[in-house]
Structure 1
Protein backbone atom coordinates (compact mmCIF):
# COMPACT_ATOMS: atom_id res chain seq x y z
CA UNK A 1 0.00 0.00 0.00
CA UNK A 2 1.16 3.56 -0.67
CA UNK A 3 2.58 5.57 2.21
CA UNK A 4 0.71 8.54 3.61
CA UNK A 5 3.62 10.64 2.28
CA UNK A 6 2.99 13.57 4.62
CA UNK A 7 6.44 13.98 6.18
CA UNK A 8 8.24 17.25 5.37
CA UNK A 9 5.28 18.63 3.43
CA UNK A 10 4.13 22.21 4.16
CA UNK A 11 0.55 22.88 5.23
CA UNK A 12 -1.21 26.20 5.75
CA UNK A 13 -3.91 26.08 8.43
CA UNK A 14 -6.26 29.06 8.54
CA UNK A 15 -8.04 29.73 11.80
CA UNK A 16 -5.17 27.79 13.31
CA UNK A 17 -5.28 29.58 16.65
CA UNK A 18 -8.70 28.11 17.46
CA UNK A 19 -9.54 24.92 19.30
CA UNK A 20 -10.50 22.76 16.32
CA UNK A 21 -7.90 23.94 13.84
CA UNK A 22 -5.05 23.85 16.34
CA UNK A 23 -5.93 20.22 17.04
CA UNK A 24 -5.92 19.43 13.31
CA UNK A 25 -2.61 21.28 12.87
CA UNK A 26 -1.11 19.19 15.65
CA UNK A 27 -2.46 16.06 13.99
CA UNK A 28 -0.57 17.02 10.84
CA UNK A 29 2.60 17.84 12.79
CA UNK A 30 2.45 14.40 14.39
CA UNK A 31 2.85 13.02 10.85
CA UNK A 32 5.85 15.25 10.18
CA UNK A 33 4.07 18.05 8.33
CA UNK A 34 5.53 21.55 8.68
CA UNK A 35 2.74 23.99 9.45
CA UNK A 36 2.00 27.67 8.97
CA UNK A 37 -0.61 28.62 11.57
CA UNK A 38 -2.64 31.57 10.30
CA UNK A 39 -5.01 33.45 12.56
CA UNK A 40 -6.29 37.00 12.94
CA UNK A 41 -4.98 36.74 16.51
CA UNK A 42 -1.19 36.66 16.10
CA UNK A 43 -0.61 35.72 19.74
CA UNK A 44 -2.87 32.67 19.42
CA UNK A 45 -1.18 31.63 16.15
CA UNK A 46 2.31 31.87 17.63
CA UNK A 47 1.22 30.01 20.77
CA UNK A 48 0.00 27.04 18.70
CA UNK A 49 3.15 27.08 16.56
CA UNK A 50 5.32 27.02 19.69
CA UNK A 51 3.31 24.15 21.16
CA UNK A 52 3.75 22.18 17.93
CA UNK A 53 7.52 22.68 17.85
CA UNK A 54 7.84 21.76 21.54
CA UNK A 55 5.60 18.70 21.38
CA UNK A 56 6.48 17.27 17.98
CA UNK A 57 9.84 18.80 17.07
CA UNK A 58 8.49 19.84 13.67
CA UNK A 59 8.92 23.34 12.25
CA UNK A 60 5.86 25.57 12.66
CA UNK A 61 5.32 29.30 12.37
CA UNK A 62 2.49 31.49 13.61
CA UNK A 63 1.35 34.34 11.37
CA UNK A 64 -1.25 37.06 11.77
CA UNK A 65 -3.42 36.99 8.66
CA UNK A 66 -6.91 38.04 7.62
CA UNK A 67 -8.65 35.45 5.44
CA UNK A 68 -10.85 38.21 4.01
CA UNK A 69 -7.86 40.15 2.68
CA UNK A 70 -6.00 38.82 -0.35
CA UNK A 71 -3.15 41.23 0.38
CA UNK A 72 -2.81 39.92 3.92
CA UNK A 73 -2.74 36.32 2.66
CA UNK A 74 -0.16 37.14 0.00
CA UNK A 75 2.05 38.73 2.67
CA UNK A 76 1.69 35.55 4.72
CA UNK A 77 2.68 33.47 1.70
CA UNK A 78 5.91 35.44 1.32
CA UNK A 79 6.80 34.67 4.92
CA UNK A 80 5.90 30.99 4.48
CA UNK A 81 8.18 30.75 1.45
CA UNK A 82 11.00 32.28 3.47
CA UNK A 83 10.53 30.16 6.61
CA UNK A 84 9.07 26.84 5.40
CA UNK A 85 9.15 26.64 1.60
CA UNK A 86 6.35 26.25 -0.91
CA UNK A 87 2.87 25.11 0.08
CA UNK A 88 1.69 21.51 -0.42
CA UNK A 89 -1.55 21.54 1.56
CA UNK A 90 -4.23 23.99 2.65
CA UNK A 91 -6.67 23.43 5.50
CA UNK A 92 -9.38 26.11 5.28
CA UNK A 93 -10.47 26.19 8.90
CA UNK A 94 -11.24 29.85 9.52
CA UNK A 95 -14.92 30.37 10.23
CA UNK A 96 -17.53 30.53 12.94
CA UNK A 97 -20.86 31.99 13.94
CA UNK A 98 -21.85 35.14 15.83
CA UNK A 99 -24.72 36.08 18.10
CA UNK A 100 -25.63 38.97 15.77
CA UNK A 101 -26.41 36.46 13.00
CA UNK A 102 -28.47 34.22 15.28
CA UNK A 103 -32.20 34.38 15.95
CA UNK A 104 -33.40 34.12 19.53
CA UNK A 105 -36.43 32.05 18.51
CA UNK A 106 -36.30 28.70 16.74
CA UNK A 107 -39.75 29.12 15.21
CA UNK A 108 -41.93 32.08 14.30
CA UNK A 109 -45.02 31.29 16.34
CA UNK A 110 -48.14 33.26 17.22
CA UNK A 111 -46.70 34.46 20.51
CA UNK A 112 -43.67 35.93 18.69
CA UNK A 113 -45.68 38.20 16.41
CA UNK A 114 -45.31 41.09 18.82
CA UNK A 115 -41.60 40.42 19.27
CA UNK A 116 -40.33 40.04 15.72
CA UNK A 117 -36.85 41.21 16.72
CA UNK A 118 -36.29 37.70 18.13
CA UNK A 119 -37.06 36.08 14.76
CA UNK A 120 -35.79 36.15 11.18
CA UNK A 121 -37.01 39.74 10.91
CA UNK A 122 -34.64 40.86 13.65
CA UNK A 123 -31.44 39.59 12.05
CA UNK A 124 -28.76 42.25 11.72
CA UNK A 125 -27.44 42.37 8.18
CA UNK A 126 -24.02 43.48 9.37
CA UNK A 127 -23.76 40.33 11.47
CA UNK A 128 -25.20 38.13 8.72
CA UNK A 129 -22.75 39.47 6.13
CA UNK A 130 -19.82 39.09 8.50
CA UNK A 131 -20.57 35.43 9.27
CA UNK A 132 -21.24 34.53 5.64
CA UNK A 133 -18.07 36.25 4.45
CA UNK A 134 -15.87 34.75 7.15
CA UNK A 135 -16.98 31.23 6.32
CA UNK A 136 -17.33 31.35 2.54
CA UNK A 137 -15.02 34.10 1.30
CA UNK A 138 -12.62 33.04 4.04
CA UNK A 139 -12.40 29.70 2.23
CA UNK A 140 -12.34 31.05 -1.32
CA UNK A 141 -9.57 33.66 -0.89
CA UNK A 142 -6.98 31.41 0.82
CA UNK A 143 -7.60 28.80 -1.90
CA UNK A 144 -6.88 31.47 -4.50
CA UNK A 145 -3.61 32.49 -2.86
CA UNK A 146 -2.10 29.24 -1.57
CA UNK A 147 -3.11 26.86 -4.37
CA UNK A 148 -0.76 28.64 -6.79
CA UNK A 149 2.20 26.83 -5.21
CA UNK A 150 0.42 23.52 -5.77
CA UNK A 151 -0.27 24.50 -9.36
CA UNK A 152 3.46 24.91 -9.96
CA UNK A 153 4.09 21.44 -8.48
CA UNK A 154 1.14 19.81 -10.27
CA UNK A 155 0.37 18.25 -6.88
CA UNK A 156 -1.35 19.25 -3.66
CA UNK A 157 -4.55 19.05 -1.68
CA UNK A 158 -7.07 21.36 -0.07
CA UNK A 159 -9.42 20.40 2.76
CA UNK A 160 -12.27 22.78 3.53
CA UNK A 161 -14.18 22.74 6.80
CA UNK A 162 -17.92 22.42 6.28
CA UNK A 163 -20.53 21.45 8.89
CA UNK A 164 -23.64 19.39 9.60
CA UNK A 165 -25.48 22.64 8.78
CA UNK A 166 -24.53 22.16 5.16
CA UNK A 167 -26.82 19.15 4.76
CA UNK A 168 -29.83 20.27 6.77
CA UNK A 169 -29.82 23.79 8.19
CA UNK A 170 -30.09 24.10 11.93
CA UNK A 171 -32.58 26.52 13.44
CA UNK A 172 -31.41 29.94 14.63
CA UNK A 173 -28.23 30.23 12.52
CA UNK A 174 -29.17 31.01 8.89
CA UNK A 175 -25.94 32.80 7.89
CA UNK A 176 -23.68 30.02 9.14
CA UNK A 177 -25.88 27.32 7.59
CA UNK A 178 -26.02 29.08 4.21
CA UNK A 179 -22.26 29.65 4.16
CA UNK A 180 -21.45 26.03 4.97
CA UNK A 181 -23.85 24.84 2.24
CA UNK A 182 -21.99 27.16 -0.13
CA UNK A 183 -18.68 25.62 0.96
CA UNK A 184 -19.94 22.16 -0.03
CA UNK A 185 -20.89 23.43 -3.47
CA UNK A 186 -17.61 25.32 -3.83
CA UNK A 187 -15.64 22.23 -2.78
CA UNK A 188 -17.22 20.26 -5.61
CA UNK A 189 -16.84 23.10 -8.09
CA UNK A 190 -13.16 23.69 -7.30
CA UNK A 191 -12.44 19.94 -7.32
CA UNK A 192 -13.71 19.73 -10.88
CA UNK A 193 -11.95 22.95 -11.91
CA UNK A 194 -8.61 21.64 -10.55
CA UNK A 195 -9.09 18.01 -11.60
CA UNK A 196 -6.51 18.15 -14.40
CA UNK A 197 -3.89 20.03 -12.36
CA UNK A 198 -3.00 17.41 -9.75
CA UNK A 199 -4.70 19.42 -6.99
CA UNK A 200 -7.45 17.66 -5.04
CA UNK A 201 -10.19 19.48 -3.12
CA UNK A 202 -12.30 17.85 -0.41
CA UNK A 203 -14.03 18.84 2.82
CA UNK A 204 -14.91 17.53 6.24
CA UNK A 205 -18.30 18.19 7.84
CA UNK A 206 -17.83 18.04 11.61
CA UNK A 207 -20.74 17.17 13.82
CA UNK A 208 -21.12 18.86 17.16
CA UNK A 209 -18.02 19.85 19.06
CA UNK A 210 -18.03 22.48 21.79
CA UNK A 211 -16.23 25.64 20.63
CA UNK A 212 -16.15 29.28 21.66
CA UNK A 213 -18.53 30.07 18.78
CA UNK A 214 -21.32 27.68 19.77
CA UNK A 215 -20.93 27.35 23.54
CA UNK A 216 -23.47 30.12 24.21
CA UNK A 217 -26.08 28.09 22.30
CA UNK A 218 -25.37 24.72 23.92
CA UNK A 219 -24.41 25.44 27.53
CA UNK A 220 -26.41 27.59 29.96
CA UNK A 221 -23.92 30.16 31.28
CA UNK A 222 -25.82 30.48 34.56
CA UNK A 223 -26.07 26.79 35.46
CA UNK A 224 -23.39 25.12 33.32
CA UNK A 225 -26.04 22.61 32.23
CA UNK A 226 -27.01 21.77 28.65
CA UNK A 227 -29.54 24.09 27.05
CA UNK A 228 -32.65 22.59 25.44
CA UNK A 229 -30.79 22.91 22.13
CA UNK A 230 -27.79 21.06 23.56
CA UNK A 231 -30.06 18.27 24.75
CA UNK A 232 -31.60 17.97 21.28
CA UNK A 233 -28.15 17.55 19.74
CA UNK A 234 -27.07 14.80 22.11
CA UNK A 235 -30.41 13.02 21.68
CA UNK A 236 -30.01 13.07 17.90
CA UNK A 237 -26.37 11.96 17.87
CA UNK A 238 -26.33 8.14 18.00
CA UNK A 239 -23.00 8.13 19.86
CA UNK A 240 -24.69 10.36 22.48
CA UNK A 241 -21.82 12.79 22.97
CA UNK A 242 -20.02 15.76 21.48
CA UNK A 243 -16.99 15.08 19.35
CA UNK A 244 -13.45 15.80 20.49
CA UNK A 245 -11.30 18.12 18.34
CA UNK A 246 -8.64 15.42 17.95
CA UNK A 247 -11.23 13.14 16.34
CA UNK A 248 -11.13 15.30 13.21
CA UNK A 249 -7.45 14.61 12.61
CA UNK A 250 -7.62 11.15 11.04
CA UNK A 251 -10.00 12.24 8.31
CA UNK A 252 -8.01 15.40 7.53
CA UNK A 253 -4.71 13.50 7.38
CA UNK A 254 -6.26 10.87 5.13
CA UNK A 255 -7.77 13.39 2.69
CA UNK A 256 -4.47 15.26 2.36
CA UNK A 257 -2.36 12.12 2.04
CA UNK A 258 -1.43 9.93 -0.91
CA UNK A 259 -3.92 7.36 0.38
CA UNK A 260 -6.62 9.61 -1.07
CA UNK A 261 -4.98 10.24 -4.45
CA UNK A 262 -8.15 9.37 -6.39
CA UNK A 263 -10.53 11.21 -4.06
CA UNK A 264 -11.68 14.72 -4.91
CA UNK A 265 -14.93 16.64 -4.55
CA UNK A 266 -16.25 14.80 -1.49
CA UNK A 267 -17.52 16.06 1.85
CA UNK A 268 -16.94 13.59 4.69
CA UNK A 269 -19.13 13.78 7.82
CA UNK A 270 -17.28 13.35 11.12
CA UNK A 271 -20.36 13.47 13.28
CA UNK A 272 -20.98 10.47 15.53
CA UNK A 273 -23.78 9.33 13.22
CA UNK A 274 -25.83 12.56 13.37
CA UNK A 275 -26.32 12.81 9.59
CA UNK A 276 -27.39 9.17 9.33
CA UNK A 277 -30.02 9.30 12.08
CA UNK A 278 -33.69 10.02 11.35
CA UNK A 279 -34.55 10.53 15.01
CA UNK A 280 -36.54 7.29 15.11
Structure 2
Protein backbone atom coordinates (compact mmCIF):
# COMPACT_ATOMS: atom_id res chain seq x y z
CA UNK A 1 0.00 0.00 0.00
CA UNK A 2 1.45 3.34 -1.07
CA UNK A 3 1.57 6.30 1.29
CA UNK A 4 -1.22 8.20 -0.43
CA UNK A 5 -3.45 5.15 -0.34
CA UNK A 6 -2.82 4.83 3.41
CA UNK A 7 -4.39 8.25 3.94
CA UNK A 8 -7.46 7.41 1.85
CA UNK A 9 -10.85 6.75 3.45
CA UNK A 10 -12.28 5.32 0.25
CA UNK A 11 -15.04 2.78 0.93
CA UNK A 12 -14.91 3.39 4.69
CA UNK A 13 -18.25 3.91 6.46
CA UNK A 14 -17.89 6.70 9.00
CA UNK A 15 -20.44 8.00 11.52
CA UNK A 16 -20.18 11.55 12.82
CA UNK A 17 -22.20 12.78 15.78
CA UNK A 18 -22.54 16.54 16.05
CA UNK A 19 -21.96 16.79 12.33
CA UNK A 20 -24.34 19.74 12.07
CA UNK A 21 -22.05 22.05 14.09
CA UNK A 22 -19.28 24.31 12.82
CA UNK A 23 -16.48 21.84 13.55
CA UNK A 24 -18.75 19.09 12.28
CA UNK A 25 -19.07 20.90 8.98
CA UNK A 26 -15.29 20.84 8.56
CA UNK A 27 -15.24 17.15 9.49
CA UNK A 28 -17.91 16.29 6.93
CA UNK A 29 -15.92 18.18 4.29
CA UNK A 30 -12.74 16.26 5.17
CA UNK A 31 -14.48 12.88 5.11
CA UNK A 32 -16.09 13.61 1.76
CA UNK A 33 -12.82 14.67 0.14
CA UNK A 34 -11.05 11.61 1.55
CA UNK A 35 -13.62 9.31 -0.08
CA UNK A 36 -15.59 8.11 2.95
CA UNK A 37 -19.27 7.27 3.10
CA UNK A 38 -20.75 9.49 5.80
CA UNK A 39 -23.60 9.10 8.26
CA UNK A 40 -24.49 12.32 10.06
CA UNK A 41 -26.28 12.05 13.40
CA UNK A 42 -28.02 15.15 14.72
CA UNK A 43 -31.22 16.59 16.12
CA UNK A 44 -32.12 18.97 13.28
CA UNK A 45 -33.34 17.44 10.02
CA UNK A 46 -32.79 20.76 8.25
CA UNK A 47 -29.14 20.94 9.28
CA UNK A 48 -28.59 17.26 8.52
CA UNK A 49 -29.99 17.76 5.02
CA UNK A 50 -27.67 20.74 4.55
CA UNK A 51 -24.62 18.65 5.47
CA UNK A 52 -25.75 15.80 3.22
CA UNK A 53 -25.96 18.18 0.25
CA UNK A 54 -22.49 19.53 1.03
CA UNK A 55 -21.03 16.02 1.15
CA UNK A 56 -22.82 14.92 -2.01
CA UNK A 57 -21.55 18.00 -3.83
CA UNK A 58 -18.04 16.65 -3.18
CA UNK A 59 -19.02 13.27 -4.60
CA UNK A 60 -19.49 11.43 -1.31
CA UNK A 61 -22.24 9.06 -0.26
CA UNK A 62 -24.03 10.63 2.71
CA UNK A 63 -26.99 9.70 4.86
CA UNK A 64 -28.47 11.30 7.96
CA UNK A 65 -30.36 10.09 11.01
CA UNK A 66 -32.18 12.07 13.70
CA UNK A 67 -30.83 10.88 17.05
CA UNK A 68 -30.04 12.34 20.47
CA UNK A 69 -26.71 10.84 21.54
CA UNK A 70 -27.77 11.18 25.19
CA UNK A 71 -30.56 8.68 24.54
CA UNK A 72 -29.08 5.18 24.40
CA UNK A 73 -32.19 3.68 22.84
CA UNK A 74 -32.17 6.30 20.08
CA UNK A 75 -28.50 5.54 19.38
CA UNK A 76 -29.23 1.80 19.31
CA UNK A 77 -32.03 2.45 16.82
CA UNK A 78 -29.65 4.53 14.69
CA UNK A 79 -27.16 1.65 14.74
CA UNK A 80 -29.78 -0.75 13.45
CA UNK A 81 -30.72 1.65 10.67
CA UNK A 82 -27.09 2.18 9.67
CA UNK A 83 -26.37 -1.55 9.59
CA UNK A 84 -29.49 -2.10 7.50
CA UNK A 85 -28.13 0.34 4.91
CA UNK A 86 -24.40 -0.21 5.13
CA UNK A 87 -23.92 -3.58 6.81
CA UNK A 88 -20.88 -2.34 8.71
CA UNK A 89 -19.23 0.61 10.49
CA UNK A 90 -15.56 1.50 10.03
CA UNK A 91 -15.22 4.66 12.08
CA UNK A 92 -16.88 7.01 14.55
CA UNK A 93 -16.26 10.69 15.22
CA UNK A 94 -17.73 11.92 18.51
CA UNK A 95 -18.14 15.60 17.68
CA UNK A 96 -21.09 16.36 19.97
CA UNK A 97 -20.18 18.83 22.70
CA UNK A 98 -20.01 22.43 23.75
CA UNK A 99 -20.97 24.50 26.74
CA UNK A 100 -24.15 25.56 28.48
CA UNK A 101 -24.67 29.23 29.48
CA UNK A 102 -25.54 28.45 33.10
CA UNK A 103 -22.35 26.41 33.40
CA UNK A 104 -20.18 29.37 32.40
CA UNK A 105 -19.17 31.93 35.03
CA UNK A 106 -19.30 35.59 34.01
CA UNK A 107 -16.38 37.98 34.45
CA UNK A 108 -18.01 39.68 37.43
CA UNK A 109 -19.43 36.55 39.04
CA UNK A 110 -18.16 34.49 41.94
CA UNK A 111 -17.22 30.92 41.09
CA UNK A 112 -20.03 29.94 43.46
CA UNK A 113 -22.54 31.57 41.12
CA UNK A 114 -21.93 28.62 38.83
CA UNK A 115 -25.25 26.78 38.44
CA UNK A 116 -24.67 23.25 39.63
CA UNK A 117 -27.39 21.59 37.57
CA UNK A 118 -26.19 23.32 34.39
CA UNK A 119 -22.65 22.26 35.21
CA UNK A 120 -23.84 18.66 35.49
CA UNK A 121 -25.63 19.00 32.14
CA UNK A 122 -22.40 20.27 30.54
CA UNK A 123 -20.51 17.28 31.92
CA UNK A 124 -23.18 14.89 30.68
CA UNK A 125 -23.35 16.42 27.20
CA UNK A 126 -19.61 16.32 26.58
CA UNK A 127 -18.65 13.13 28.42
CA UNK A 128 -21.73 10.90 28.23
CA UNK A 129 -22.39 12.22 24.73
CA UNK A 130 -19.06 10.61 23.82
CA UNK A 131 -19.26 7.44 25.91
CA UNK A 132 -22.74 6.36 24.76
CA UNK A 133 -22.06 6.40 20.98
CA UNK A 134 -18.64 4.84 21.56
CA UNK A 135 -20.15 1.89 23.39
CA UNK A 136 -23.03 1.43 20.94
CA UNK A 137 -21.18 1.86 17.62
CA UNK A 138 -17.84 0.68 19.02
CA UNK A 139 -19.31 -2.79 19.51
CA UNK A 140 -19.60 -3.17 15.72
CA UNK A 141 -16.07 -1.89 15.16
CA UNK A 142 -14.72 -4.25 17.81
CA UNK A 143 -16.62 -7.26 16.44
CA UNK A 144 -14.99 -6.86 13.03
CA UNK A 145 -11.58 -6.26 14.63
CA UNK A 146 -10.81 -3.11 12.66
CA UNK A 147 -11.78 0.54 12.85
CA UNK A 148 -11.13 3.89 14.47
CA UNK A 149 -12.93 6.06 17.02
CA UNK A 150 -12.10 9.76 17.33
CA UNK A 151 -13.08 11.76 20.41
CA UNK A 152 -12.87 15.52 20.81
CA UNK A 153 -10.81 16.68 23.76
CA UNK A 154 -9.84 20.28 24.54
CA UNK A 155 -7.13 22.56 25.80
CA UNK A 156 -9.24 22.56 28.97
CA UNK A 157 -8.10 18.99 29.65
CA UNK A 158 -4.47 20.10 29.68
CA UNK A 159 -4.65 23.66 31.00
CA UNK A 160 -7.20 24.80 33.61
CA UNK A 161 -9.24 27.31 31.60
CA UNK A 162 -11.15 29.65 33.88
CA UNK A 163 -14.95 30.03 33.99
CA UNK A 164 -15.93 26.69 32.37
CA UNK A 165 -16.02 24.10 35.17
CA UNK A 166 -18.36 21.52 33.64
CA UNK A 167 -16.64 21.61 30.26
CA UNK A 168 -13.23 21.26 31.93
CA UNK A 169 -14.28 18.26 34.02
CA UNK A 170 -15.87 16.57 31.00
CA UNK A 171 -12.85 17.01 28.75
CA UNK A 172 -10.57 15.54 31.42
CA UNK A 173 -12.97 12.61 31.42
CA UNK A 174 -12.75 12.27 27.66
CA UNK A 175 -8.96 12.04 27.81
CA UNK A 176 -9.25 9.30 30.43
CA UNK A 177 -11.97 7.49 28.51
CA UNK A 178 -9.89 7.66 25.30
CA UNK A 179 -6.96 5.92 26.99
CA UNK A 180 -9.18 3.37 28.75
CA UNK A 181 -11.17 2.49 25.64
CA UNK A 182 -8.05 2.30 23.47
CA UNK A 183 -6.40 -0.09 25.90
CA UNK A 184 -9.40 -2.33 26.40
CA UNK A 185 -10.22 -2.61 22.71
CA UNK A 186 -6.63 -3.39 21.72
CA UNK A 187 -6.18 -6.03 24.41
CA UNK A 188 -9.49 -7.71 23.69
CA UNK A 189 -9.99 -7.22 19.93
CA UNK A 190 -6.55 -6.84 18.41
CA UNK A 191 -4.16 -4.31 16.98
CA UNK A 192 -6.41 -2.83 14.30
CA UNK A 193 -9.00 -1.25 16.61
CA UNK A 194 -7.97 2.24 17.65
CA UNK A 195 -9.27 5.11 19.79
CA UNK A 196 -7.70 8.56 19.78
CA UNK A 197 -8.67 12.14 20.51
CA UNK A 198 -8.11 15.53 18.95
CA UNK A 199 -7.67 18.55 21.21
CA UNK A 200 -8.52 21.62 19.15
CA UNK A 201 -7.09 24.98 20.01
CA UNK A 202 -9.43 27.95 20.17
CA UNK A 203 -11.77 28.03 17.20
CA UNK A 204 -14.63 30.49 16.90
CA UNK A 205 -17.87 28.47 16.91
CA UNK A 206 -21.48 29.12 17.80
CA UNK A 207 -20.94 27.50 21.19
CA UNK A 208 -18.19 29.90 22.27
CA UNK A 209 -19.09 33.01 20.25
CA UNK A 210 -20.46 34.88 23.28
CA UNK A 211 -17.24 34.19 25.18
CA UNK A 212 -14.89 35.24 22.40
CA UNK A 213 -16.58 38.15 20.60
CA UNK A 214 -18.29 41.38 21.57
CA UNK A 215 -21.63 42.43 20.04
CA UNK A 216 -19.71 44.48 17.45
CA UNK A 217 -17.70 41.41 16.40
CA UNK A 218 -14.43 42.47 18.02
CA UNK A 219 -12.53 40.02 20.22
CA UNK A 220 -13.24 39.96 23.94
CA UNK A 221 -10.43 40.22 26.46
CA UNK A 222 -10.68 36.45 26.89
CA UNK A 223 -10.20 35.81 23.18
CA UNK A 224 -7.23 38.17 23.11
CA UNK A 225 -5.65 36.26 25.99
CA UNK A 226 -5.96 33.05 23.97
CA UNK A 227 -4.34 34.75 20.98
CA UNK A 228 -1.55 36.17 23.14
CA UNK A 229 -0.92 32.67 24.55
CA UNK A 230 -0.67 31.08 21.11
CA UNK A 231 2.68 31.23 19.28
CA UNK A 232 0.78 31.48 15.99
CA UNK A 233 -0.90 34.64 17.37
CA UNK A 234 -4.35 33.82 16.02
CA UNK A 235 -7.41 31.65 16.51
CA UNK A 236 -7.69 28.45 14.53
CA UNK A 237 -9.77 27.81 11.46
CA UNK A 238 -11.94 24.65 11.57
CA UNK A 239 -10.45 23.49 8.27
CA UNK A 240 -7.11 23.13 10.05
CA UNK A 241 -8.49 20.12 11.93
CA UNK A 242 -9.21 18.17 8.76
CA UNK A 243 -5.77 16.68 8.14
CA UNK A 244 -5.43 15.32 11.67
CA UNK A 245 -8.92 13.86 11.51
CA UNK A 246 -8.26 12.00 8.25
CA UNK A 247 -4.89 10.79 9.54
CA UNK A 248 -6.41 9.29 12.69
CA UNK A 249 -9.22 7.59 10.78
CA UNK A 250 -6.96 6.22 8.07
CA UNK A 251 -4.48 3.36 7.87
CA UNK A 252 -1.68 5.95 8.01
CA UNK A 253 -2.06 5.98 11.81
CA UNK A 254 -2.19 2.19 12.18
CA UNK A 255 0.13 2.13 15.24
CA UNK A 256 -1.41 5.13 17.00
CA UNK A 257 -3.95 4.57 19.77
CA UNK A 258 -4.80 6.12 23.12
CA UNK A 259 -3.34 9.46 22.08
CA UNK A 260 -4.63 13.03 22.22
CA UNK A 261 -3.26 15.16 19.41
CA UNK A 262 -3.26 18.93 19.91
CA UNK A 263 -4.17 21.13 16.95
CA UNK A 264 -3.71 24.45 18.68
CA UNK A 265 -1.07 26.63 17.05
CA UNK A 266 1.36 25.77 19.87
CA UNK A 267 -0.83 26.97 22.77
CA UNK A 268 -0.31 23.88 24.93
CA UNK A 269 3.42 23.77 24.23
CA UNK A 270 4.22 27.37 25.15
CA UNK A 271 4.90 28.59 28.68
CA UNK A 272 4.51 32.22 27.62
CA UNK A 273 8.22 33.11 27.75
TM class, shorter-chain normalised?
Answer: over 0.9
Unaligned runs of 5+ in 1: 106-111, 113-117
Distance (whole Å) between structure 2 residues aligned to residue 95 and residue 150 of structure 1: 22
Question: Does 1:167 find its partner at 2:158?
Answer: yes
Question: 1:191 maps to which residue?
Answer: 182
Deviation, structure 1 residue 147: 1.0
Report SS of the residue matched to 2:195. strand
Question: Does 1:53 find its partner at 2:56?
Answer: yes
Report SS of the residue matched to 1:44. helix
Runs of 4+ with >3 A deviation? none
Deviation, structure 1 residue 173: 0.4
Report SS of the residue matched to 1:7. coil
Q: Deviations over 1:138-163 (max 9, x none)?
A: 00000011012112211011010001
Question: 1:207 maps to which residue?
Answer: 201
Question: 1:233 maps to which residue?
Answer: 226
Question: 1:178 maps to which residue?
Answer: 169
Is the 2:8–2:35 Cα contact (8 Å) retained in structure 1? no
User: Over aligned residue pairs, what C-alpha RMSD do you find?
Assistant: 1.2
Unaligned runs of 5+ in 2: none
Distance (whole Å) between structure 2 residues aligned to residue 158 and residue 167 of structure 1: 21
Question: Does 1:144 find its partner at 2:141?
Answer: no
Aligned residues: 267
Q: Deviations over 1:235-260 (max 9, x none)?
A: 11111111111110100110111111
Question: 1:224 maps to which residue?
Answer: 217
With over 3 angstroms needed to count, the CA separation of the structure-2 counterparts of 1:84 and 1:46, relative to structure 1, is farther
Distance (whole Å) between structure 2 residues aligned to residue 166 and residue 20 of structure 1: 18
Distance (whole Å) between structure 1 residues aligned to residue 27 and residue 217 of structure 2: 27
Match of 2:262 among 256, 261, 269: 269
User: Normalising by the residue count of structure 2, what TM-score does the alignment of the two structures yield?
Assistant: 0.95
Match of 2:68 among 66, 69, 72: 66
Deviation, structure 1 residue 42: 2.4
Alignment of 1:246-265 (within 5 A): 246-265=239-258
Q: Deviations over 1:178-225 (max 9, x none)?
A: 10111001100111011131310000000000001111011011x221
